[in-house]
Amino acid sequence: MDRLGERAPVMAPDAMLPLIARVARRVRELPDTWTLDLVAADGGPLMRYAPGQFTMMYAFGVGEIPVSVSGDAADQTRLVQTVRAVGKVSEAVTRLAAGDTLGLRGPYGTAWPVAEGYGRDVVVVAGGLGLAPLRPALYQLQAERKRFGKLVLLYGTRRPEDILFRRQLANWRRQLDMEIEVTVDHAGAAWRGHVGVVTRLIPRLGIDVDNAMALVCGPEVMMRFAASALNDIGVPEEAIHLSLERNMKCAVGLCGHCQFAGSFVCKDGAVMRYDKVRRLLGLKEI
Amino acid sequence: MNDHAAAVITHEGLGGLIAGLRAEGFRVIGPRLRDQAIVYDDIESVADLPAGWTDEQEGGHYRVRRREDAALFGYNVGPHAWKRFLHPPLLRLWRAERSADGMTVTATSEPAERYAFLAVRSCELHAIAIQDRVFLQGPYVDPHYKARREGAFIVAVNCGQAGGTCFCTSMNTGPKAEEGFDLSLTELLGDRHEFLVEVGSERGAALLAAVPHRPAERQDAAQAANAVARAEGNMGRHMRSDDVRELLLANLEHPRWDDVAERCLTCGNCTMVCPTCFCTAVEDENDLAGNAAERKRRWDSCFTMDFSYIHGGSVRSSGRSRYRQWMTHKLANWVDQFGTSGCVGCGRCITWCPVGIDITEEVRAIRGEGGSDGRA
Ligand SMILES: Cc1cc2nc3c(=O)[nH]c(=O)nc-3n(C[C@H](O)[C@H](O)[C@H](O)COP(=O)(O)OP(=O)(O)OC[C@H]3O[C@@H](n4cnc5c(N)ncnc54)[C@H](O)[C@@H]3O)c2cc1C
Ligand code: SF4
Ligand code: SF4
Ligand code: FES
C-alpha cells in the first residue's frame, strides 16, 4: 500500500512573512506626516516596485498597515514611503528613527499606467495625503517629460499649512513645464491661491480631453467627484485611474478584507480604472 | 473517472479502511456524536461513527434524533465543515524577536497534519474545490492550506436523504459525489447492511484492495442509485441559481436588504459554519517584556464592524450593508473573483442562524416572489 503514503506535507514559503528593513532617513513633512527612506537590514536595496504600488509595513509588536510608495521608482536603492500618523500602527511607524528596523512585505498591487499617457495630455488630481502615492508617477512624468503633451497637477488640501512636498512642488513648477494648481478648503488672508474643493478646477482645464489621461488619488468622495467632473468635460472613463482604499490584512488576495464587490483592492487595485468602479462608487457602503 | 470496478464492503471492510489509513500515518477525521450534534473529529474505529443517529434541520433549528435503523451515515451536515482542518480557525504565523541590530522574524506554524477525511458529502467536496480556487489558484498560494490539502485522503459518502435546509440540487453540487475523492461510499441499508464503494484514485484502489470486499452487482448499484435519487427528491430548500448573480447585482439597493437587516443580529454564525467562507484577520501579541511578538491568523467575519474599518470609520457600518456584502459575495461577486459560486447549498447558514434567516428565501424575495417561506 505504498502509494497511499505519497509525500509528507511540505510548507512552502509564506507570503505573510515580512523581510526586515532599516530606516536610512526620516524626514518630517508635516507635523503628523513623515517620509521614511528604507533599505534592507544589511543596507542593500529592498525591492523593485512600480509607481502606485504599496507595501505592508510592520511595526514590532504593534501591527501591519498598507502604505503606498512615494519615492522615485527609478532609484531602486531605497524605498521611500510617506506616512501620516492617524492611529496605533502609523504612529509607531512614524516614530521609527534612522537605524531602526521594521518588517516589510511587498510590493503589492497595480501600478499607475503612466506609459499609457505617452503622446497625450496628463492630468494628476491629488487630495490631501493622496499626493504621496502619486509622487512616483510625477517622478516618471518628469523623467520622460518629452513623451507627454500638456501636464497638469491639481492638488487640494484643507489648509495652506497642510501642503505636502511644498519645495518639490515649487521646483517642479519651475523646471517641469507643468501647470500646478493648488487649492485649499480654508485659508487666511495671506493665501493668494485658489480656495474651494479641487474638483472646481476641473472644468477650467485647458487640455485635449479626447487625448488625455487622468490619475486621481485622495479621499473616496473626492475621487468620485473628481472622476465624474473629468468625465463631464470629456475625458473618457477608461482614461481615468483611481487608487482605492480598503482595510487590508494580507495584501495577497487571501484574507478577504479589501473586497470591493467583485474585486480585491489589494490585487486588482489599488489603482483601478474608473469605468470598472464608477457604478459602485455611487453606492453607499460597498 | 477511472476503470476500477465498484465493490461492496461490510462494517469489517469499513473498519479495515479506517485501520489502513491510520496505519499509513493519516489522522482520520470523521463524524462523531458530541454535545448533541454530529461534528467532525478523530475516528479510531467504526464504533466511533454515529450509528443510528440522524439530524433534524430547519431555519434556526438543529436536533439529533434516533433513527429506526443503524445507519452510520444517516444524517446530513452539522455545524462543522472540513475547512476547520484545511484552513484552521487559529494559526500561528510567525514570531518576531528583538536582536542586537533590530529584529528577526521566524515562521512558527506547526507542521501540517496528514489528514484522511471520512464521509465527505458531495456539497462538501464542492466546497473544498472552491477553497482550492481561493487558496491555491490565485497569484499567491496559502502554504498552510496547501500543505494540509495536498496529501489529504478523501472518502466521500453519498447522501441517502436530504436535510431540511439542503439545496445542493439547486447549486449543482450534489447529492452524488462525482469527483474529488479517493473512495466514495453509498450506504446500502436493508437486510444486509453494506457499503457500495466507488474508486476515484489509484491510492483509493490500493486501499480498497487491502480490505475484504466483494465485486458490486447490478442490484447493489441499483440500490445505491435509489438512495441518491431519494435524497435528490427530498431537498428541504430550492433556489433558482442560473441568473442569481445578475439578479443580485441589479438589486443592490433593493428594499429587502433593509428588511433582512431588521432581523439579522450580525452575529456572523453564518460565516463561521459556511464551508466556503475563508476570510481571516491577523492579531499581534507581545510578551510582557516587549522583546518578542507573535502574529496569528484567525477566522474573521464580514459581519463585524472591524472587518471593513479604515481610519475614520467602517466602510460597512450598517447591518444592511454587511448582510448585502455577505450574500452578494456568496452568490454574485464570488463568480467574478473565482469563476464559481461561493455557495454549495449545504444549508448550514440557514440551520445555524439564530433567527432562521434563509438565503433561499432572501433570493426569492429579491426576485419578487416574496411571501412564501423558504421551504420547498
Ligand atoms: C493601498 C493603500 C495605500 C495607502 N497608502 C498610504 C500612504 O501612502 N500613507 C499613509 O499615511 N497611509 C496610507 N494608507 C492608509 C493607511 O494604511 C492607514 O492610515 C493605516 O492603516 C492606519 O492604521 P493605524 O493602525 O495607524 O490606525 P487605526 O485607526 O488604529 O487603524 C486600526 C487598523 O485598521 C486598519 N486601517 C485603518 N485605516 C486604514 C486605511 N485607511 N486603509 C487600510 N486599513 C486601514 C489597519 O489594519 C489598522 O491597523 C493606505 C491604505 C491603503 C489601503
Ligand atoms: S452560503 Fe449557506 S448554504 Fe451556501 S455554502 Fe455557505 S453555509 Fe452552505
Ligand atoms: S444571517 Fe443569521 S447567522 Fe448570519 S449574521 Fe445574520 S443573524 Fe447571524
Ligand atoms: S488584503 Fe487580504 S484579500 Fe486583499
Terminal Cα-to-Cα distance of chain B (whole angstroms): 33
Q: Which one of A160-174, A193-207, B317-331 scores highest in mean pLDDT?
A: B317-331
pLDDT band at A11 (very low <50, low <70, confident <90, very high): low
**Gap from B315 CA to chain A (nearest CA, Å):** 5
Position A94 scores a pLDDT of: 98
From the list A4, A7, A6, the residue with the least C-alpha distance to B19 is: A4
Reading chain B (376 residues) residue by residue, the pLDDT tens digits are 457 899 999 999 999 999 999 999 999 999 999 999 999 999 999 999 999 999 999 999 999 999 999 999 999 999 999 999 999 999 999 999 999 889 999 998 777 899 999 999 999 999 999 999 999 999 999 999 999 999 899 999 999 999 999 999 999 999 999 999 999 999 999 889 999 999 999 999 999 999 999 999 999 999 999 999 999 999 999 999 999 999 999 999 999 999 999 999 999 999 999 999 999 999 998 888 889 999 999 999 999 999 999 988 999 999 999 999 999 999 999 999 999 999 999 999 999 999 999 999 999 999 998 654 544 4
Chain center to CA of B318: 28
Q: Which residue type, as a one-letter code, is found at position A207?
A: I
- How much is the pTM? 0.95
Contact at 8 Å (CB) between B328 and B252? yes
Position A2 scores a pLDDT of: 44
Rounded distance between C-alpha atoms, residue B213 and residue B211, angstroms: 6
Residue A184, C-alpha cell as written in the block: 485649499
Query: Pairing relation of β-strands B194-199 and B183-188?
Result: antiparallel
Contact at 8 Å (CB) between A60 and B287? no
- Among A8, A10, A283, beta carbon nearest to B252: A283
- Best probe of the A interface among B142, B149, B202, B299, by most A CBs < 10 A, is B142
Name residue, grid cell 501591519.
A64
Judged by DSSP in three states, B180 sits in coil
Position A44 scores a pLDDT of: 82
What one-character-per-residue DSSP string does A40-85 give? ETTSS------TT-EEEEEETTTEEEEEEB-S-TT-TTSEEEEEE-
Residue B232 Cα to ligand 2 midpoint, Å, equals: 18
Protein residue with its CA nearest to atom 2 in ligand 3: B353
Indicate the Cα dihedral angle A88, B279, A280, B139, nearest 10°: 100
B154 touches chain A (CB under 8 A): no
Position A76 scores a pLDDT of: 86
Indicate the Cα dihedral angle B74, B75, B77, B82, nearest 10°: -50
Which value, in Å, is the radius of gyration of the alpha carbons in chain A?
20
Instruction: Please tell me which residue, A189 or B129, carries the higher pLDDT value.
Output: B129
Residue B70 Cα to ligand 4 midpoint, Å, equals: 47
Do you find a cis peptide bond into A107, omega within 30 degrees of 0?
yes
- Best probe of the B interface among A254, A260, A264, A286, by most B CBs < 10 A, is A254
Contact at 8 Å (CB) between B213 and B195? no
Residues A117-146: tens digit of each pLDDT: 999 999 999 999 999 999 999 999 999 999
Position B161 scores a pLDDT of: 96
Rounded distance between C-alpha atoms, residue A133 and residue A122, angstroms: 16
Residues A58-88: tens digit of each pLDDT: 999 999 999 999 999 999 899 999 999 999 9
Q: Residues 259..278 of B with a Cβ closer than 8 Å to A: which?
A: 278
Q: What are phi and psi of A38, to 5 degrees?
A: -120, 145
Mean pLDDT across the stretch A228-242? 97
Name residue, grid cell 501591527.
A63
Domains of chain A: 4-108 (2.40.30.10), 114-243 (3.40.50.80)
Question: Would you put residue A71 in left (φ > 0), alpha (ψ -120 to 50) or beta?
Answer: beta
Residue A129 Cα to ligand 2 midpoint, Å, equals: 41
Position A175 scores a pLDDT of: 81
Residues A201-219: tens digit of each pLDDT: 999 999 999 999 999 999 9
B218 touches chain A (CB under 8 A): no
Round the average pLDDT of chain A to a whole number and report it.
94
Contact at 8 Å (CB) between A216 and A244? no
Q: What are phi and psi of B233, to 5 degrees?
A: -85, -15
Protein residue with its CA nearest to atom 3 in ligand 4: A253
Residues in chain B with CB shorter than 8 Å from the CB of A10 are 147
A11 touches chain B (CB under 8 A): yes
Query: Pairing relation of β-strands B61-66 and B90-99?
Result: unpaired
Q: Give, for ligand 2, the residue of B349, B351, B360, B361 to mutate: max count of ligand atoms closer than 8 Å to Cβ.
A: B349
Burial class (CB in 10 A: 0-12, 13-18, 19+), B84: middle
Residues in chain B with CB shorter than 8 Å from the CB of A5 are 24-25
Contact at 8 Å (CB) between B117 and B159? no
Q: Which residue type, as a one-letter code, is found at position B199?
A: V
Which residues, listed in sequence order, are joined to residue B56 by a DSSP beta bridge? B63
- For ligand 3, residues with CB inside 6 Å are B 264-270, 303, 353-355, 357
